[in-house]
Structure 1
Amino acid sequence: MSTPNSTLRAVRMGLLLSQDEFARAIRDAGHRTGSPNDASKRLVQRWESGTTVAPRPVYARALEAVTGLPIEALGFPAPALVRISEDGHGGHDLQGSPVGIPVAAGSPTPQAAPRGNYSGVWLSTYEFVSSGRDDQVFTGKHFVVLLQHGNRLTGRSLPNGSLNPDSPLTLDLQVDGSTVTGTWTEQTAAEGYYRGARYFGALQMLVEPTGRRMAGKWVGFGKEFDVNTGPWELRLMDASTTKAVLDSYNRPPE
């Protein structure tokens, strides 16, 4: 059974694009870069359903151009792992599990079922210390679309839903009972203080019994190769992910 690519779906929804609009944007990106492609709504559906596990290079480059994220951050395997399909031929969208991805021996560790469905629009808030600005404490805020598939949560900030413009945030999380663990990535604004630097790290939070708030800590690397940490909170704003709701939160948080 195919595993849906909820990461790509979350990114697309975070960009406020329908599957048709997303396919059109991919085609437009191909024309701009001199590598035309035939992206269609059906192809986007195959990617998101997991029927096609990896896009061809021409689509991968266009996807990166449209989303501003590397292909492995869109729920696809890293390019090095998808060059050869099961019949030994490369250069095609791969079906099923790609050759080259190791499979762990033995049975997976059982996970506790999530206490609820956490799909919706959440307000993400974290704090960090800026060593280059006299160790001042700053707050980062984003309106994030979270989508849940089984025990997995994937998230992407809305295009205009952050305090700092052009600073998208992505989350890839795993739910185990009331514990949420995973990774975060933020691409800072090119014109901002951090000049387009890409930061990433780990995140662990506990879900409150109401299911409307998660709180915990982040960890990540600083400019001087030091390890930093700080508080991180996700607060549910709306459990719906309709276009009208996403449009209403496509603005900087107060």
Structure 2
Amino acid sequence: MATPNSALRAVRIGLLMSQDDFARAVRDAGVRAGQPNDASKRLVQRWEAGVSTSPRPLYARALEAVTGLPIEALGFTVMSARVQDDGHGGHDMQPSPEGVAPPAMTPQPDPQGARKNFAGIWLSRYEYFSSGRDSTYTGLHHVVVLQHGNRLTVRSLPGSSDSPLMMDLEVDGHVATGTWTEQTAVDGYYRGARYHGSIQLLIEPTGRRMTGKWVGFGKEFDINTGPWELVFRDASTTKAAIEQYNHRPEA
């Protein structure tokens, strides 16, 4: 009997998506990456029911882009880099021997010492001014960064904050530019309000820190801004590494 994939279902529900919505998001991610797929509600149901435990690479990449989490953290079988032709115009992944996870990709430096691979776990820290409380506050999250080419998807770990955070960035040399979204806690000061805006970060030569500014709209439709930084913590995105950082960062 298949074991239901509760991890994937929990992530989908956390994104406030129905199975139809999730399938559509997976298809859209494939189109954006230039690798169209045929994700459907039925396929999502098979994944969540545990009937299909090893999505093909193009689905795995789309799932990572939608959720911001590595495929291993979504309840699927840990895969190696080997693929085999499935006879239907695609490939099926093969499980690693004895279920052993493949080694984490080691960030590769350029001649000046800058990292080119930014995948891993980072600490996100930003500051914002609360007009209602007349004070400046700091937002802290442990986030998972996944990289596909020059695009980075950033998603906060659920245990690091009551306010889920996500960013979609594009790297151009030593500059990362993109958008951010944060869903505030329902029982917090902002009562579940959703905030979003733009962000631009400068990547330090070592590639271990990004610093810059965020821009967003306040509740009075005024434009707010403040500092934001990402600080590298761990190159691994395995389940064990994620569990290690799935807690509130220290101030």
Tell me if the contact between 1:183 and 1:203 (Cα under 8 Å) persists in the aligned partners.
yes
Mind listing any 5+ residue stretches in structure 1 that lack a counterpart?
A: 1-18, 64-72, 76-113
Q: Map Cα deviations across residues 8-64 of structure 1 (whole Å, 9 max, x no partner).
A: xxxxxxxxxxx944455589x6xxx9x999x99xxx99887654266459969xx9x
Instruction: Say if 2:128 and 2:225, in contact at 8 Å, map to a contact too.
Output: yes
Residue in structure 1 matched with residue 132 of structure 2 by the alignment? 132
Listed as ranges, the gaps of 5+ residues in structure 2 are 49-64, 68-113
Check the 8 A contact 2:26/2:66 in 1, yes or no.
Answer: no
- TM-score, normalised with respect to structure 1: 0.60
CA distance in 2, matches of 1:180, 1:23: 29
- Please tell me whether residue 212 in structure 1 is matched to residue 208 in structure 2: yes
The answer to whether 1:191 aligns with 2:176 is: no
- Matched with 1:180 is 176
Secondary structure at the aligned position of 1:160 is classed as helix
- In the aligned structure 2, how far is the partner of 1:36 from the partner of 1:74? 13
Deviations 1:195-223 (A, max 9, x none): 00000000000000010000000000000
Q: Secondary structure at the match of 1:244?
A: helix
Describe the shift of the 1:232–1:23 C-alpha distance in structure 2 as closer, same or farther (beyond 3 A).
closer
Give the secondary structure class of the aligned counterpart of 1:133: coil
Aligned residue in 2 for 1:52: 37
Q: Percent identity?
A: 59
Equivalent residues in 2 for 1:77-96 (5 A)? none
Aligned residue identity for 1:234: L
* C-alpha deviation, 1:168, in angstroms: 0.2
Deviation sequence 1:165-192 (CA, Å, 0-9, x none): 2x10001000000000000000000000
Provide TM-score, normalisation by structure 2.
0.60
- Of 190, 197, 202, 1:201 maps to 197
Are the equivalent residues in 2 in contact too, given 1:26–1:59 (CA < 8 A)? Answer: no
The aligned residue for residue 119 of structure 2 is 119
* Cα separation, 1, equivalents of 2:151 and 2:123: 18
- Looking at structure 2, the residues matched to 229 and 26 of structure 1 have their Cα atoms a distance apart, in angstroms, of 30
1:213 touches 1:233 (CA, 8 Å); kept in 2? yes
The change in CA–CA distance for 1:193 and 1:239 in structure 2 (over 3 A counts) is same
Amino acid paired to 1:229: T
Alignment match, 1:222 = 218
- Report how far residue 115 of structure 1 moved: 5.1
